[in-house]
Amino acid sequence: MGSMYTAVLFLGLQNAASVQPVVNVERTVFYREQAAGMYSTMPYAFAQVFIEMPYVLVQAVVYGLVVYAMIGFEWTAAKFFWYLFVMYGSFLTFTFYGMMAVAMTPNHHIASVVSSSFYGIWNLFSGFLIPRPSRPVW
């Protein structure tokens, strides 16, 4: 469990951090083009989301193959594809969080500071660092 948690967390944080400067530069271009009447907000947002999906899928498949083999999980198709599905969803979540952090702050420097504080909170309350017997039954 620890290796799977760390593998997802490591690359997820890298995704969120690496997308922030790119979105910051694109935001400047978007403001200029929107003022000229060329872009609308919703199609631009959907385009940003959809352009990340194939890239993150390739990343999840390549990284998932390596990590799945290194951890030594059972090689059944159902388990492997569930693992890829979870990794893909996690990586997309981190990537979209990085985009959202830049969109809500004035620049990517402030977004990285805000993001790092949320990463610590997510890590504390993710449920992995608390032993199973200490968790209350809901």
Domain boundaries, the chain: 2-131
The tokens 């872009």 sit on which residue? 39
Per-residue pLDDT of the chain (138 residues; tens, 9 = 90+): 777 888 888 899 999 999 999 999 998 888 888 888 887 888 888 999 999 999 999 999 999 999 999 888 889 999 999 999 999 999 999 999 999 999 999 998 999 999 988 888 888 877 777 777 887 787
- For residue 134, what pLDDT is reported? 80
Count other C-beta atoms under 10 Å from residue 28's C-beta: 10
In this structure, which amino acid lies at residue 75? W
Distance (Å, rounded) from C-alpha 15 to C-alpha 97? 9
Encoded tokens for 49: 């989301």
Whether residue 7 contacts residue 14, with contact meaning beta carbons closer than 8 Å, is answered with no
- For residue 3, what pLDDT is reported? 79
Residue 129 CB contacts under 8 Å (≥ 6 apart), including other chains: 123
Terminal-to-terminal C-alpha distance of the chain: 21
- For residue 23, what pLDDT is reported? 92
pTM of the entire predicted model:
0.85
The tokens 């959202």 sit on which residue? 100
